Structure 1
């Protein structure tokens, strides 16, 4: 199964005993995917369903919320490709009762504004859970962070966005072909939404993947940083040794001040050592800045000697003394 299917299977098992939460989840599911069919003055309610487990859940919830026993039927559904079944409320009177109790309509239009202003946190959670089960999906975190809802209208998209905002989740809305897509890309916000909807097992699985990826990325950043620093160290060491070898072959290292000659000899003997390591070899030990200062003096002396001999001079000494 896909990660998205795992999330939905977990949410299917979440059955609230609170009547307000039940009706809120039904409302979230219904206005995302449901259909109100009108025949003259009569209404019937239809809910396309992905699988039998989900059908059983909402059948049970409808029975609990509206005390219906014999007026809900489950049929095979030929329509949108991922919906295999449809729950139908066949009684017009019962359909009107459901529409009224869920406050689905206002002037024959879906009452989106009502659902943007839930006072109860648990009802907001339930509404989002119902909407996700209807039109939501989430990518496998191994492949990338992406969670989305594809509701039927821009009004429903804005309703979902407004409810998520109350949980400090900043979703975005984009137009994809003829659909309004509400989506999240940040791993931390996807984790928060999974928690809000009640998908705690999926949340832990998502977090485990996210932690491993973050650790791996941090290690890669550190390795890249260390590699860059190593390149600087090698480059600086090569330049320093070139200057020292030049002085050694032209005027001799004994022409340097004693403290500079000692540092020059240590640099030649330990070409891969850092400035800190060179300083620790001195007797008494010298700090990194002290070694750096002395090597700069050696480089300056080498450049002065090159100038006197009319040879090429290295202008930017600082490029070679940064380790």
Structure 2
């Protein structure tokens, strides 16, 4: 199972105890996966006829991920004591050749056909008012349902279950929730911002996608939706990844420093040999002559160690100063004798 699937499986098993949070999560799933079909000719029926005559009205919740439908089944049972069945069906085009049997992908659905149950669910989730007027289920969810932070957590949990995904944190950091319109996306972005989590919106074909690529933001999101086991697993990936990156940076830095040290040491040895041949050590001041002899004797030694070989010992800055003087003198000799560097 993918990491995204593991997160959804954990969220499916987490049901908030409070009814208002259950309604917020159910509204979120309906918002992304639900559709309502009115009864044919229902506008022409009298109130009493509406109660007694069923003519095709249904509330359908459909998703490719079984965890979403199982969670919806649980919420309907706990919140409204509605017992229903989960149906499996094949949807869309058949799979590509070589991808198994080539059968059409599976989808799972819950279908409510009892008008009283449909009305009860839609009114509780604020998709229908007290007079029976329906709201667009793809429009932003009623602010009344998500006024509390606990309900906002539940709403985000339902949104990720219904339309979210994330990449394997061992490879990259990416979490997204796919929305059918900009209003959906902006509502999710606004709720995340209330938790001090920044997310961006990008258009992908006909969809609006709310996404995060920051490890800290994704970690915060998992904490908000109360996927605590997935959060710990995600943090383990982050620790290993950041440690590996830290080690790589340190190795690269040390490799670069070694390269610089070797290059400087080679340059210093070349300068000193030039002075020995073209200028003569006997013409050097005593401090520079001693420094030149020590550098030739210990070509690989670092500056601090070179200073310990001098009499009296000299610190790192003193050694660096003397070597720089030798280098300047070598450049002067080259210039005077027309020697190329």
Structure 1 residue aligned with 2:336: 308
Contact 1:117/1:163 (<8 A) preserved: no
2:110 corresponds to: 87
Measure how far apart 1:54 and its partner are: 4.2
Change (3 A) 1:113 1:45: closer
Q: Summarize the alignment of residues 219-230 of structure 1 with structure 2, pairs less than 5 Å apart.
A: 219-230=247-258
Residue of 77, 95, 112 corresponding to 2:89: 77
The corresponding residue for 2:60 is 46
* 2-structure distance, mates of 1:255, 1:169: 70
Aligned-pair CA distance for 1:108: 3.0
The farther-off stretch of 78-87 and 160-169 is: 78-87
Partner of 2:98: none
User: What aligned pairs does 1:14-33 form with structure 2 within 5 A after superposition?
Assistant: 14-33=14-33
In structure 1, distance between residues paired with 2:254 and 2:169: 29
Q: CA deviation at 1:51?
A: 5.1
Residues 86-125 of structure 1 aligned to structure 2 (within 5 Å): 86-105=109-128, 108-110=135-137, 111-112=139-140, 114-115=142-143, 118-125=146-153
Deviation of 1:304 after TM superposition, in Å, equals 2.2
- Match status 1:246 vs 2:274: yes
Q: Report the counterpart of residue 132 of structure 1 in structure 2.
A: 160
The count of corresponding residues between Structure 1 and Structure 2 is 311
Partner Cα separation in structure 2 for residue 116 and residue 259 of structure 1: 84
Residues 44-92 of structure 1, C-alpha deviations (whole Å, 9 max, x = no match) = 32111445554343222112212334xx332223436766221112111
Q: Which runs of 5+ in 1 are unaligned?
A: 315-323
Aligned to 2:184: 156
1:62 is aligned to 76
1:214 to 242, 262, 269: 242
Structure 1 residues 116 and 307, CA, compared in 2 at 3 Å: closer, same or farther? farther
Distance 1:45 1:15, change over 3 A: same
Write the deviation string for residues 145-168 of structure 1: whole angstroms up to 9, x where unpaired: 111111222211111111111111
TM-score norm. by structure 2 comes to: 0.85
Question: CA, structure 1 residues 145+129, in 2 after alignment: closer, same or farther (shift >3 Å)?
Answer: same
CA deviation profile, 1:169-213 (whole Å, cap 9, x unmatched): 111111112221111111111111111111111111111111111
Q: Relative to 1, partners in 2 of residues 1:116 and 1:300: Cα closer, same or farther, differing over 3 Å?
A: farther
Look up the SS of the partner of 2:72 in the other structure.
helix
The aligned residue for residue 45 of structure 2 is none
2:220 corresponds to 1:188: no
Distance in 2, Cα, partners of 1:79 & 1:261: 87
Q: Distance in 2 between the 1:284 and 1:82 partners?
A: 83
CA contact (8 A) 2:68 2:162 kept: no
Mapped to 2, the partners of 1:160 and 1:140 lie a distance apart of 22
CA–CA separation in structure 1 for the residues paired with 2:330 and 2:88: 89
**TM-aligned CA deviation for residue 117 of structure 1:** 8.2
Structure 2 unmatched runs, 5+: 43-49, 51-56, 93-103
User: Are 2:187 and 1:175 equivalent residues in the alignment?
Assistant: no
Distance 1:187 1:87 in 2: 35
Q: Does 1:4 pair with 2:32? A: no
Which residue in the other structure is 2:101 paired with?
A: none
Tell me, in whole angstroms, the C-alpha distance in 1 between the residues paired with 2:298 and 2:211: 57
